Structure 1
């Protein structure tokens, strides 16, 4: 359907007010990572009487002046967020946030410097922490924000709980039917093997104000160099893994921000190695016989799903290694050790490290009991919000149409100003959302939970955005 048809075909009539109910504005940055968790939060909020606007982060940011007043939940409180938070606050919206990167980070001080801005946090009414460890680290950075921090966990990890695993069973079965038995290799090297090039990460940190002096620059150069050693260690071990496990496919799943072409090129000669990156990581993990990673959240996800997991560490640095994913994994530092570890994992003779669960409990809340989605939704109810009727009159519609058109043209403008690669990178992180996907996910979560009756989704006037509410 063409853009103009999509805009006028939505179900909000020309005279219907947007809603007198409170709005939750829920942007998605990286679709494969966030989609299901934010659908689940949308449903929990809709149960409590919220209207939810769910959709692409960039599309929402382009429409800040046209969005309904509501509670805007951002994926971080980095320094680049401050200007958007100020605009939302000036329009009468309330800001809440969590940090998608706040569970697994390599160096605490670097994480706080890079991801937690006191100015952005000051503008937030609530901050939802993954668990005790992140909440304590946030306290060290901003003790003045203690009253707004809630330890809720993250709805992303609700999807790993037993009650929701059936959501991904059909996809996991389909993957195994396609590839047969396989070992999943998750890479996490975007700071070295970035889609936009070798220098992109460092230059982006300079532009954001994260790197402001030579000492910081040297630190991030060391970090990138370390990741390069690990990355090339993975590349070097691939032929040995391929030969050691000829009866299994080796599926390499790069990070969403990585240059996947590098992996295709480096593994092209290995017959039982394939590079994949479709959909959420969860069904790929759930269908695997074993998972290999290095300092990656997917290692923790594999542990929580009960999948045997190995951390391959061809280079080691206490500053730049992520503690938690490695702590729940069986570690190997060279190819021979990795192959032996995998054989033990596949034979079922290796059990998780004894301290794994106690460490996970320090870092991750809501692994049992109330869902993280419910804990967050309950906290949203605490926030005082003035609900104003906002009519969809012709002027407002014209403004929305204009911004939608600009947003739709941005890929073309990127190609002109920067390169086709910038557009491809944006599409790799967010390939778009169709209404049918939203409806399908809602039905899956309804079936798995026995909840959410009467909650529906419709297309909104905003590009790549959808309205979820109780009818």
Structure 2
């Protein structure tokens, strides 16, 4: 019997790409799939009645229990490889009834599975290592190698969401929680380095610049730079981070978990934190993201930074990162994370989609689309964070990725 599966994509530019690849794998196995986010998740719970809910954050457990109690809850984490103090396992432990309600957990890697085993005696029966779903696009895309042979610009990655909220809220909103002060100061310092560097690149080189905002940022607020430096700057709003990184000559960024895609595609990384003199170094607050400093170079002066831009460093294999990819992200696994997850959820047999269920899904999608359009009329920046199938078009090559993954499945 075909399963109805609801996937919760928390953020557009972090989660939608992995959700679309997983959707392709599930549908190839005969499941009917909807990708939802905060504005329409409860709507689909009430009126579609999914058999399985894949959630990336445990905050959705209560609403699933309330509106669709028969639905199986599967945790498909939006973050992984965290230390115990910020792990999914500890958050579930501290949330009354959450462990009992979750039936399965699709872990990124052995690192997370071991933390669950520390917390719960029956973890072996619930936790399955699938790999990091975000890395599927680096692992399976047929375009990555081609992109790395035609690198065309200098990439700048934003992580300034306390200054530039995706929905247009001002920076002062971040300071409603005064503990955010250090973060706001560090982001302001980091952005100052970025602005100074952009000015230098434009004035002293012929390089094109591409800026990719953080998933919690508003891309619109970077577009003033395009007006200042006409013809030199592009703002990237695409789903596929790995595809974008693979096309860059180098990446300029604060510490970020996205260093993995850069490392895998052998894209040089320049980390700006030392130059920006951060108040809270990432090594102290987010050890995983701080590994990006080991994957690249952290210049201590603008002179050193400019030399690196002019003559980018070559990729060097790092045993520490190689071990992290294997232990925490399942990079060594032969399957993609999406294919492994689909096998666990619905089996590995390929089969067609049931037309009657597709018709029912289409009708609900029309109502969901109206909800999305109304929200966008209230705030035009709503689409920066929230996915809508009719509004956000999937890249054409995603279908080819699905086909290539499926071609490796044996009946």
TM-score, normalised by the number of residues in structure 1: 0.69
Q: 2:95 aligns with which of 104, 118, 129?
A: 118
When Rg is computed on C-alpha atoms for both structures, the one with the higher figure is 1
Aligned partner of 1:374 in structure 2 is: 339
Aligned partner of 1:231 in structure 2 is: 191
Pair 1:101-2:82 in alignment: no
**Superposed displacement of residue 99, structure 1:** 1.9
Pair 1:26-2:7 in alignment: yes
For residues 121 and 366 of structure 1, do their structure 2 counterparts lie closer, same or farther at Cα, with a shift above 3 Å needed? farther
Aligned partner of 1:331 in structure 2 is: 298
Aligned partner of 2:223 in structure 1 is: 264
For residues 334 and 367 of structure 1, do their structure 2 counterparts lie closer, same or farther at Cα, with a shift above 3 Å needed? farther
**Superposed displacement of residue 136, structure 1:** 4.3
Question: 2: distance between equivalents of 1:111 and 1:231?
Answer: 29
Aligned partner of 1:307 in structure 2 is: 267
Map Cα deviations across residues 149-177 of structure 1 (whole Å, 9 max, x no partner): 2222133312211xx2314678x59x97x
Q: 2:61 aligns with which of 74, 79, 82?
A: 82
Q: Which runs of 5+ in 1 are unaligned?
A: 1-19, 204-216, 383-388, 454-471
For residues 367 and 40 of structure 1, do their structure 2 counterparts lie closer, same or farther at Cα, with a shift above 3 Å needed? farther
Q: 2:35 aligns with which of 44, 55, 64?
A: 55
Pair 1:158-2:136 in alignment: yes
Map Cα deviations across residues 221-261 of structure 1 (whole Å, 9 max, x no partner): 333333333233323332223344x1211111111321334
Secondary structure of the structure 2 residue equivalent to 1:331: coil
Question: 2: distance between equivalents of 1:81 and 1:145?
Answer: 22
Once the two structures are overlaid, the 10-residue window that deviates more, 53-62 or 438-447, is 438-447
Question: 1: distance between equivalents of 2:250 and 2:364?
Answer: 49
For residues 252 and 43 of structure 1, do their structure 2 counterparts lie closer, same or farther at Cα, with a shift above 3 Å needed? closer
Q: How does 1:423-434 map to 2 (within 5 A)?
A: 423-430=379-386, 432-434=388-390
Secondary structure of the structure 1 residue equivalent to 2:45: coil
Q: How does 1:13-412 map to 2 (within 5 A)?
A: 20-47=1-28, 49-57=29-37, 58-77=39-58, 80-87=59-66, 90=69, 92-103=70-81, 109=85, 118-119=95-96, 120-138=98-116, 142-143=119-120, 146-147=123-124, 148-161=126-139, 164-167=140-143, 172=147, 181-195=152-166, 196-197=168-169, 198-200=171-173, 217-244=177-204, 246-265=205-224, 268-271=227-230, 272-313=232-273, 314-316=276-278, 317=281, 318-321=283-286, 322-345=289-312, 348=314, 351-381=316-346, 405=367, 408-409=370-371, 411-412=373-374
Question: 1: distance between equivalents of 2:217 and 2:392?
Answer: 28
For residues 121 and 332 of structure 1, do their structure 2 counterparts lie closer, same or farther at Cα, with a shift above 3 Å needed? farther
C-alpha contact (below 8 Å) 2:80/2:108 kept by paired residues: yes
Question: 2: distance between equivalents of 1:402 and 1:46?
Answer: 18
For residues 64 and 441 of structure 1, do their structure 2 counterparts lie closer, same or farther at Cα, with a shift above 3 Å needed? farther
Map Cα deviations across residues 177-227 of structure 1 (whole Å, 9 max, x no partner): xxx821111112213321332244566xxxxxxxxxxxxx55443333333
TM-score, normalised by the number of residues in structure 2: 0.78
**Superposed displacement of residue 442, structure 1:** 5.8
**Superposed displacement of residue 339, structure 1:** 2.2
For residues 189 and 413 of structure 1, do their structure 2 counterparts lie closer, same or farther at Cα, with a shift above 3 Å needed? closer
**Superposed displacement of residue 84, structure 1:** 1.8
For residues 181 and 100 of structure 1, do their structure 2 counterparts lie closer, same or farther at Cα, with a shift above 3 Å needed? same
C-alpha contact (below 8 Å) 1:31/1:429 kept by paired residues: yes
**Superposed displacement of residue 45, structure 1:** 3.2
Question: 1: distance between equivalents of 2:80 and 2:238?
Answer: 24
Cα-Cα RMSD = 3.9
**Superposed displacement of residue 404, structure 1:** 5.3
C-alpha contact (below 8 Å) 2:211/2:236 kept by paired residues: yes
Map Cα deviations across residues 276-330 of structure 1 (whole Å, 9 max, x no partner): 3234222221111112221223322111112222222123413235223333222
